[in-house]
Amino acid sequence: MGCSLLGVSPSRISTGGGGGGDSITIIKKPGKVGNPDPANYRVSKFEYLGGHLITEIVYPDCVNFEGKKVLVFKKGVTLEKLLKRNNGFIDPHFSDDTGVIHPVARFEPSEAGWHMARRAVIG
């Protein structure tokens, strides 16, 4: 049962015949999911550059890229303003919802991605 399909570790895989064909049933383990919980995060680093806020945020319940996200927020957004306006949540997804502050760009969560975010905001 150490098999993994598309990054999902199954808790049970059963194969069964009967009626002339085999079937495979995959039952996923509860636990980590693909979408991060915007209330469960840690800001690992942030920087203000060219008036923009650049952040690296770790979402421990997100499975891709070890849960890391490099996000850029528009000019004038501070970390304090972001947290206050969003009631402590930081959602890494883009949205048209004007009630909260969303990122304007995301980059690969690596040192190269961090440098690309920096270059993007300074032109």
* Res. 10 pLDDT band, cuts 50 70 90: very low
For the chain, what are the domain ranges?
A: 1-30, 42-122
Return the amino acid letter for 29: K
Q: Which of 14-18, 85-89, 95-99, 106-110 has the lowest mean pLDDT?
A: 14-18
Candidates 62, 99, 101; CA nearest to 79 is 101
Per-residue model confidence as pLDDT tens digits over 93-121: 888 888 899 999 999 999 999 999 999 99
Is residue 84 helix, strand or coil? helix
Note the pTM of the prediction, 2 decimals.
0.70
